[in-house]
Amino acid sequence: KMATPVYTPFVFLLLLFQSRVWGFPVRQTPQESPTCGYKSCHATKPGMLNVHLVPHTHDDVGWLKTVDQYFYGDRNDIQHAGVQYILDSVVDQLLKNPDRRFIYVETAFFYRWWKQQTDDMQNTVKQLVNEGKAREGDEATTHYSAVIDQMTMGLRFLNDTFGHCGRPRVAWHIDPFGHAREHASMFAQARVIRAHSNLNPAPSPPGILPNGYNPPEGFCWDQSCDDPPIRDDPDLEDYNVDDVVTRFLSIAHALVYKTNHIIMTMGSDFQYENANLWYKNLDKLIRYVNQNQSNGSGVNVLYSTPSCYLQELHRANLTWPLKGDDFFPYADSDHDFWTGYFTSRPALKRYERISNSYLQCSVLWLVEKAVAVAQHHDAVSGTEKQHVANDYARRLANGWAHCQVLVSNTLSSLSGSSAPRVYCEHLNVSVCPLTETSKKFSVNVYNPLARPVSWPVRLPVNGTAYSISDANGKAVDSQVVPVSQATAAVRRGRGYAVNELLFQVQAPPLGYSTYSVSLLQNGPPSPHFVTLRDFLSSLLCVCFPRYNASDGNNSESIQMSGAYIFRPNTSTPFIISKTAKTETLQNSVVQEVRQWFSPWVSQVVRLYTDSRALELEWTVGPVPIGDDLGKEVISRLDSSINSSGVFYTDSNGREVLQRRKDYRPTWNLRQSEPIAGNYYPINSRAYIKDDKDQLTVVTDRSQGGGSIQDGSLEIMLHRRLLYDDVRGVGEPLNETSDIYPEGLVVRGRLLLSLSPPATAADTHRPLAQEVVLQPLITFTDGELHPSTRLEFSGLQAVLPPAVHMLTVSQWDQDSVLLRLEHQYQASESKEPSQPVTVNLQKLFSTLDVLGVSEMNLSANQWKDEMTRLDWKAESGEKHLPKRGGDPSVWEVNLKPMEIRTFLLRVRQR
């Protein structure tokens, strides 16, 4: 019996490119000069069916247990898993036989293990490692900037530790819950063929192995398995070599692939803790199966790795299909769509997103590490156990606490003011002790974007009128409005402010601006209530329906909704309330409609005077469960747009993919779940459009959503479920917290824009970016010293609108890692979709750029040293568009959607 029968979600995908990403250590004979990569592959036999055995383990970086519990093998009562022993044992076994191979990808674990080894052991492992390793991430709910940061960190560790032999060349992503196109794109350097190996014959979708990432049935020799070992002494009883070879040959012959090479994954979750069991039997399997070649079996078995397998596919010199769509939504059965995890644990998803944004303010490694761990597919996806989710949140909080010190120091040094800096992390629920009590304080707005931003600020205050001045001493318009009932309810006694102070701030690119606030008078609030016609009603209806979750009591399938799976019990959502209790207000800064749909669902519809987008601030929870039904709450926007069954979602926050109801671009779909089967991941935006209008929704975290009716767009906001969905986590998704013990309350925002399709990207691209990399607001109490520098920009000039500075981080003493991104697709917009040129020497205001070298996307290889296998695509099109060349060393050209990575040698001005 396999140890992991319930948890084998997988699609196997090999990305066809040579130069980058996840790989594995391969054994090599010590003392020899290192032979890296393909040179270390075992020879194959051209006339035979070559079976590539790939020994591997799949070690979740936190799922049922926390990262550290997994590492040490603690709490084996929850799940038997001890990663430190796996690495100890595998290294020991690799040393015993140079033919053996192993792939290991979870860098977070490997890093922990490496630190604990002696110099001797580290040197031994360096001999063994030939291609490095990297960890996997969730593909559906992750934002590309976090994915790139994470890749960079992991691969830098590998390069620093193992040199160029530690550079992985293939992607090994065995356990995400679907595959994103943007991931393939990022792995392939953001501008390469997005092909994948056609591992399986039609009609099944390509790239799927018959038994997940597990070994074939009957061939699991881990200590957690019960399959018979190979008993090869004919003098003893139970001799079974003939039986094993016969079974193996029949399994191998049953697999039909495009080439005479097949891959078998020999391992599974947390296996190889006692690697001797596996290797002893694999050695024998290879020996006995290959002996049969003399009898004309025609099968050759070898130890291999994904890159050796890939090399053989390349040698076959065939043409391969190009895939332009992605692998969402994933389903493992007719009624079992993995579309719930797009939304599961919405508070953690938001926290992860904000942490990633803060990370851009800092290069502090501790924060980077916490965010990278939270990118694991069971973390961002929300499909881990509750205690593991708490552990992730704690790690992010620790990282952020350290980051705050760094941000404070940086701001003190730039502004010349050492006044203590205060952070208010609960402004989302109008809690900030400093602004509630202080009569005079200053607000520092740091903008991590390379263009100026204008941003509405909303601070809890107890006064009724304030005077505000900007960095130039100019008065800023502000308004005071009463705190809403919904906000007073969610903050749960954590603050007492009766009002909120609203004003618009402007911050320069990659810099800050400081606003001074003083209390003018105390008196009764003057909220300017007006009876405003609901300015939405003419445009669209914003409703809050919910789905009753399936409890498995159903004639078609017993599958219930859970952390992974979304399965409503009917296709008609239940409208929580047809009417809302409404309060409206309007002043010079904002117009607001506050709506209460029920005691646990409320919304504020806001339009700031300076804004291009309508804001929907939703507050949902505690989701009632008194009726013993799980519930999944959505926000539905109905419009008159004639969307004809089509809508669009982003892929990891970057490119946009078209989605069509009950349809998949590359295979024939028989739709079995009318709602869940039409849900897709939304990382940052989704839209519907017709000839005249485009309605775009920008989200503040990853969520799931769909367009079930024409003209309608629905986004799932929160879910609370009472049953486990039997994918291994063993808990219902029934979140509570210290503040909300009776059920988690979550608040978030959707930003809506309505514009003609031709110019829509000009609004939603920058909008989405401002939500992901939102300004960081900090406070200091009292009057600022007159010598304080109130405004600062790290840039010499604003960059063109198409250019996003994706990364600026200190690399070492005198160099800075810079990523420039063209953030528009080719024909998405007019002017911004054109190629642009940026001068690297004219970028920074405080740094002289002395030298530049271009690197690959993950910054572990120099661009001019990159080599990549060349693949022939079926469509015959040339897949590498040629760049027009840079005007000079300093002036670099960016094509639509291109990301370029540079290491700059710099000197402080």
Ligand X SMILES: *[C@@H]1O[C@H](CO)[C@@H](O)[C@H](O)[C@H]1NC(C)=O
Q: How far is CA 270 from CA 57, 85, 278, in A?
A: 6, 10, 13
Binding range to ligand X, per CB under 6 A, among 157-165, 186-194, 696-704, 817-825: 157-165
Q: Which of positions 450-469 make contact with ligand X (CB under 6 A)?
A: 462
> β-strands 261-266, 49-55: how paired?
parallel
Of the ranges 177-185, 228-236, 262-270, 425-433, which one interacts with ligand X (CB under 6 A)?
425-433
Q: Among this protein's residues, is 232 annotated catalytic?
A: no
- Strand, coil or helix: 903: strand
Contact with ligand X (CB under 6 A) among 245, 560, 760, 803 = 245
Q: Does residue 160 interact with ligand X by CB under 6 A?
A: yes
496, 535, 663, 890: which one binds ligand X (CB under 6 A):
496
3-state secondary structure 508-554: CCCEEEEEEEEEEECCCCCCCECCCCCCCCCCCEEECEEEEECECCC
Of residues 202 through 231, those in contact with ligand X by CB under 6 A are none
* Residue among 491, 494, 503 nearest 459 (CA): 503
From the list 428, 442, 712, 901, which residue makes contact with ligand X (rule: CB under 6 A)? 428
490 near ligand X, rule: CB under 6 A: yes
Count the site residues for ligand X by CB under 6 A: 41
Q: Is 745 in the site for ligand X (CB under 6 A)?
A: yes
Q: Position 788: which residue type?
A: T
How far is it, in rounded angstroms, from Cα 792 to Cα 513?
Answer: 7
* Neighbouring C-alpha atoms within 13 Å toward the C-beta of 300: 12
163 contacts ligand X (rule: CB under 6 A): yes
CB of 313 to ligand X, least distance (A): 13
Residue 159: CB minimum distance to ligand X, A: 4
Does residue 750 belong to the site contacting ligand X (CB under 6 A)? no
d(CA 37, CA 35): 7
> Among residues 216, 732, 794, 832, which is the contact residue for ligand X, using CB under 6 A?
732
Nearest CB to ligand X, comparing residues 242 and 831: 242
Q: Residues in the chain, how many?
A: 909
Distance CA 287, CA 302 (A): 9
Nearer to ligand X, 499 or 763 (CB): 499
d(CA 314, CA 37): 14
425 part of the interface to ligand X, by CB under 6 A: yes
Residue 318 or 797 with smaller CB distance to ligand X: 318
Residue 798 Cβ vs ligand X, minimum distance, rounded to whole Å: 30
Query: Of 53 and 745, which has the nearer Cβ to ligand X?
Result: 745
Cis before residue 329, ω within 30 degrees of 0?
Answer: yes
- Chain residues 291-310 in contact with ligand X, contact rule CB under 6 A: 291-292, 295-297
Of the pair 13, 605, the CB lying nearest ligand X is at: 605
**CB nearer ligand X, residue 119 or residue 627:** 627
CB closer to ligand X, 224 vs 344: 344
Pick between residue 116 and residue 570 the one whose CB is nearest to ligand X.
570
Output 519 or 722, the one with its CB closest to ligand X. Answer: 722
Q: What is the C-alpha to C-alpha distance for residues 706 and 637, in angstroms, rounded to an integer?
A: 11
- Choose the binding region for ligand X from 69-77, 276-284, 441-449, 745-753 (rule: CB under 6 A): 745-753
* Window 560-589: residues binding ligand X (CB under 6 A): 569-570, 572, 574
* Nearest in space to 394 (alpha carbons), one of 778, 138, 62: 62
Distance of closest approach, residue 363 Cβ to ligand X, in angstroms = 16
User: For ligand X, which is the closer residue by CB, 451 or 747?
Assistant: 747
Q: C-beta of 413: minimal distance to ligand X in Å?
A: 27
Stretch that binds ligand X, among 289-297, 531-539, 827-835, 880-888 (CB under 6 A): 289-297
CA atoms within 13 A on the CB side of 890: 10
Place of tokens 């981080």: 809
Q: Report, in Å, the least distance between residue 876 CB and ligand X.
A: 11
Q: What b/e readout covers 349-362, taking b as 16+ CB neighbours within 10 angstroms? A: bbbbbbbbbbbbbb
CA atoms within 13 A on the CB side of 514: 23
Minimal distance in Å, beta carbon 365 to ligand X? 16
**Residue 610 sits in the site that holds ligand X (CB under 6 A):** no
Residue 213's DSSP bridge partners are: 211
- Closest to ligand X by CB, 661 vs 718, is 718
SS3 state at 744: coil
Q: Whole-angstrom Cα distance, residue 477 to residue 503?
A: 6
- What Cα–Cα distance (Å) separates residue 718 from each residue in 272, 346, 639, 744? 39, 6, 23, 9
CB of residue 701 vs ligand X: minimum separation in angstroms? 10
Q: Assess 126 for contact with ligand X (CB under 6 A).
A: no
246 is an interface residue for ligand X by CB under 6 A = yes
Return d(Cα 570, Cα 708) in angstroms, integer.
13
Q: Which is closer to ligand X, CB of 270 or CB of 423?
A: 423
Which two structure tokens, joined as six digits, stand for 317?
């010199």
> At its nearest, how many Å lie between ligand X and the CB of residue 261?
16
Q: Which stretch binds ligand X (CB under 6 A): 222-230, 405-413, 424-432, 695-703?
A: 424-432
Complex with ligand X: residue 118 or 250, whichever CB lies closer: 250
Q: How far apart are CA 241 and CA 232, in angstroms?
A: 6
Site string for ligand X, 829-868 (x = CB under 6 A): -------------------------------xxx------
Which residues from 530-549 bind ligand X, rule CB under 6 A?
A: 548
d(CA 473, CA 470): 5
Rounded least distance, CB 155 to ligand X, Å: 9
Which of residues 390, 412, 736, 839 is near ligand X by CB under 6 A? Answer: 736
Backbone Cα Rg of the chain: 28
- Per annotation, catalytic residue among 59, 149, 175, 336: 175
User: Tokens 């079996």 correspond to what residue?
Assistant: 297
- 426 belongs to the binding site for ligand X (CB under 6 A): yes
Q: Which stretch binds ligand X (CB under 6 A): 119-127, 159-167, 501-509, 779-787?
A: 159-167
**Window of 187-195, 288-296, 558-566, 842-850 that interacts with ligand X by CB under 6 A:** 288-296
Minimum distance from residue 390 beta carbon to ligand X (Å): 12
**Phi/psi class of residue 510: alpha, beta or left (left: φ > 0; alpha: ψ in -120 to 50)?**
left
Of the candidate spans 242-250, 373-381, 557-565, 670-678, the one that interacts with ligand X by CB under 6 A turns out to be 242-250
Site membership for ligand X, residue 747 (CB under 6 A): yes
DSSP symbols for 127-168:
HH-SS-------SSS--HHHHHHHHHHHHHHHHHHHGGGG--
Helix axes 144-162, 365-374, angle to 10 degrees: 120
Q: What distances in angstroms separate CA 480 from CA 477, 501, 832, one per listed residue?
A: 11, 5, 38
**Binding residue for ligand X (CB under 6 A) from 93, 142, 159, 260?**
159
The helix or strand, by DSSP H or E, that contains position 855, with its residue range, turns out to be strand 847-855
Of residues 671 through 730, those in contact with ligand X by CB under 6 A are: 722
Cα 174 to Cα 326: distance, rounded to the nearest angstrom: 15
Within 8 A by CB and 6+ apart from 26, the residues are 40, 101, 102, 128, 129, 130, 131, 305
Please give the torsion angle defined by the CA atoms of residues 770, 776, 781 and 783, in that order, rounded to the nearest 10 degrees: -60
Q: CA 761 to CA 694: how far, in whole Å?
A: 10
Instruction: Tell me which residue of 605, 522, 656, 604 sits closest to 185, measured CA to CA.
Output: 656
Name residues contacting ligand X, limited to 344-363 (CB under 6 A).
347, 351, 354
Strand partners, 64: none
Binding-site ranges for ligand X (CB under 6 A): 159-160, 163, 242, 245-246, 291-292, 295-297, 317, 347, 351, 354, 425-426, 428-429, 462, 490, 496, 498, 548, 569-570, 572, 574, 627, 629, 722, 732, 734, 736, 742, 745-747, 860-862
Residues catalogued as catalytic: 175
